[in-house]
Amino acid sequence: MEPKYDHRAIEEKIYHRWEESGAFTPQINPQKKPFTILLPLPNANDPMHMGHALFTVGDILARYHRMLGDPTLWLPGADHAGIETQYVYEKHLAKEGKSRFDFDRETLFKMVWGFVEKNRELNKNQLKRLGFSLDWTRYHYSLEPQIVENVLATFRKLYHDKLLYRGQRLVNYCPRCGTAFSELEVDYQERSDFLYYLNYGPVSVATTRPETIFADTAVAINPKDKRYLKLPGQQATIPLLNLTIPIITDPAIDIKFGSGALKVTPGHDPLDFEIGSRHHLPVISIVDRAGRLDFSDPRFNGLREKAILETLSGLKIPAAREKILELLVKSGALIKKEPLTHAVGICYRCGTVIEPLLLPQWFVKTKSLAEPAIAAIKTGKTKIVPQKRFAKMYFDWMENIKDWNISRQIVWGPRIPVWYCLDCNAEIQIGFISSRGEKVSGPYRVLKENYPFAEISRGLQTLIAPQDAVYQLEPGPCQKCHSEQTLQETDTFDTWFLSGQWPLTTLGYNVAHPEESSGDFEYFYPTSVLDTLWDILFFWVGRMMMFGLYLTGEAPFRVIHLHARVVDRTGQKMSKSRGNVIDPIIMVDKYGADALRMALTAGVTPGGDIALSEEKIIGYRNFANKIWNMGRFLSSDKIKKDLTAKSPGDAALELLVKNLVRQTTDYLRTYRFGQAAEELYRVTWHELADKYIEEYKKGLLSYSVLKNSYLTILKLLHPFIPFVTEAVWDQFSPEKLLISTSWPPIHRTDKI
């Protein structure tokens, strides 16, 4: 053995040997119960970050169960990642002075596809660099044709089961990303703002959004508010416009907030939308998809204050607010303003303030889907670990679940399988790039006078069908009028709609024809364990539970193990803005994959944050060196190798190792990886190296017991630090790879 462990010279060769041996690929054996674990999908848009390195937990489980003799499937894949990937790609376009609006959707899709393919290969290589023993023969990508077809079949099944609808609903919209988001994808940020008190005639109204006053359709007060008992039934006046609106009562109004009177703007606030629905108020929208004021609603036709609206039209929200406040002050309608700290919804991708907009979107009814997913946890069919911390979080979300908006106004992803006939829907709004490269938009009834259907179809960017548009679920001529002029919906699926079906689609479940599902699905589903970060318990885990039960009747996991995030040494979340990001691949280059894996595992409590620093990684690099040096010492031709004689210290070492086997096995069975790694480190360094090797040098320990104890500990360490353990094992047993050996036997009666 070389004097020093050189991970750079060893790791790639060892991984290649593992792959060539077929150790990663399980065989279906009906006589044995399999162990199945899915890789949480890396996004196919960027290199890996430290969160991806935590896939180490899944790899520990896979290697452990493989050594137990279980047919073990550790299934890899990659997610196209919808809006996240398009957002990353748009930043590349911006550097070239271009944007997504310069391309028709087919061209842009192909450009993003090429970008993603390069990163997908990069991600595969990075997963290998970290030693993940994934079955690459079963690798899947979320845009594979068969996976996409399954997803489309699920859409059709939901539709036919009356669990899917197209609704004109207030949705969370990001003007920067140009798409709607579900409630789960909105982050909330505390911001310092002002509460503005405005004169509405008989009552003053407090609001944080003066720019939406033109879309008000009522003023509401709480019926129990004694200050305003005489106001219901009277008329309030919208400042600047002198339009009158009714004063109504509603129990949802907070008497203690502001003046106790709420301006009801159903087109721009979720609570106001609910109040408006209860009172049958008109819904007016004055903000377009670019986040600019738009006064095209018929309400504003013929107003004497038309000049005011013209000065505001086209302004983005921040500029519009500033200008409107200026006009309110000048008119005397602004009574006062008070400082206010409140939570503001922002886009989880780009940080832009979310604008609630009334748009036609596709929704999944989730209440009936959530009920079996709740029952699966409550009855113990699926177990959440750590249960105390995360089960309540799961129930809180599932029991209060809202219908799921699955529409995304982006190019990157499978399009919703719905087709609109342009002849039957002449008011459909279309945006496209003409054959001369011009950006053209407008209703089809106008566009068709100057542009042939083929040109519109070829250059298509977006379409917005009216709420009452007729549609069909299959391509081809219109099923109503037989016109050939049909266009597919340009909304794409929410990424989580695809990844929510991941356990099914990757294992070969056939949604349209379940009886034709693959042998892999029959054998490996439901999966054994899902290990993932707790912050996607809602986004991903809950949806996989719902889809798995809806489509197959069985929950997709027996155990959901949730680990926590990686933070810096001070407990701060890693972010580029803080400058505390640690690149996992750089750490692997410098110190080896084993050092990083151990640093991410040792001492970590279940569900607790993982504090990481370069110094900690260096410490476990030294541990890998220690293991190497011990192996070098024990395999040396220069030391005495008495294989028969017993020595005084043998019994104590044998008992220590037996207890370590039992304890490590117990820790792994109960998902206490941090304690397992810490105890393995302690016994290896401070017992075996510091104590027993020294006793051997003094003649107080036999070589055979010392060697066998060392080899047993190598087996226990292998799931955590596979490279150095495999490299050293080869010095003692080159005929068989350590990855394929059996887990040490447990000396007790109960079966592990």
Q: What pTM did the predictor assign?
A: 0.86
Domain limit, last residue, from 324, 356, 388: 356
Whether residue 18 is contained in a domain is answered as: no
pLDDT at 641 over 90: no
Whether residue 543 is contained in a domain is answered as: yes
Whether residue 173 is contained in a domain is answered as: no
pLDDT at 348 over 50: yes
CATH number, position 710: 1.10.730.10
The answer on 555 and 406 residing in a single domain is yes
**Which residues, 6+ apart, have CB-to-CB distance to 359 below 8 Å?**
168, 169, 171, 173, 180, 464
Q: What percent of the chain has pLDDT over 90?
A: 77
The answer on 64 and 188 residing in a single domain is no
Domain of 286 in residue numbering reads as 179-356
Whether residue 749 is contained in a domain is answered as: no
pLDDT at 283 over 80: yes
CATH number, position 209: 3.90.740.10
The answer on 192 and 220 residing in a single domain is yes
The answer on 389 and 423 residing in a single domain is no
Let me know the angle formed at the C-alpha of 284 by 278 and 288, rounded to the nearest 5 degrees: 135
Residue 576: pLDDT band with limits 50, 70, 90: low
The mean per-residue pLDDT over the stretch 593-619 comes to 91
User: What distance in Å separates the CA atoms of residue 232 and residue 646, rounded to the nearest whole number?
Assistant: 97
- Site of tokens 């409550």: 378
Residue 184: pLDDT band with limits 50, 70, 90: low
Residue 751: pLDDT band with limits 50, 70, 90: very low
Let me know the angle formed at the C-alpha of 650 by 645 and 651, rounded to the nearest 5 degrees: 125
The answer on 718 and 655 residing in a single domain is yes
Burial class (CB in 10 A: 0-12, 13-18, 19+), 391: middle
| Order of all β-strands in the sheet with 72-75 | 72-75, 35-38, 527-533, 557-563, 383-385
pLDDT at 424 over 80: yes
* Overall domain count for the chain: 4
Task: Give me the pLDDT at residue 748, please.
Answer: 54
Whether residue 576 is contained in a domain is answered as: no
The answer on 390 and 427 residing in a single domain is no
Range of lowest pLDDT (221-225, 580-584, 736-740) = 580-584
The mean per-residue pLDDT over the stretch 335-339 comes to 95
**pLDDT tens, 655-710?**
999 999 999 999 999 999 999 999 999 999 999 999 999 999 988 999 999 999 99
The answer on 511 and 465 residing in a single domain is no
Domain limit, last residue, from 356, 376, 400: 356
Whether residue 624 is contained in a domain is answered as: yes
The answer on 554 and 513 residing in a single domain is yes
pLDDT at 116 over 60: yes
> Are the beta carbons of 337 and 194 closer than 8 angstroms?
yes
**Which residues, 6+ apart, have CB-to-CB distance to 118 below 8 Å?**
none
**pLDDT tens, 519-568?**
999 999 999 999 998 888 888 999 999 999 999 999 999 999 998 788 88
The answer on 655 and 639 residing in a single domain is yes
pLDDT at 643 over 70: no
Positive or negative, the Cα torsion across 166, 170, 175, 181? negative
Whether residue 4 is contained in a domain is answered as: no
Domain limit, last residue, from 327, 356, 385: 356
The answer on 158 and 283 residing in a single domain is no
The answer on 437 and 407 residing in a single domain is no
**pLDDT tens, 53-110?**
999 999 999 999 999 999 999 999 999 988 888 888 888 998 999 988 899 999 999 9
The answer on 410 and 423 residing in a single domain is no
User: What distance in Å separates the CA atoms of residue 384 and residue 459, rounded to the nearest whole number?
Assistant: 49
Whether residue 130 is contained in a domain is answered as: yes
Task: Give me the pLDDT at residue 604, please.
Answer: 86
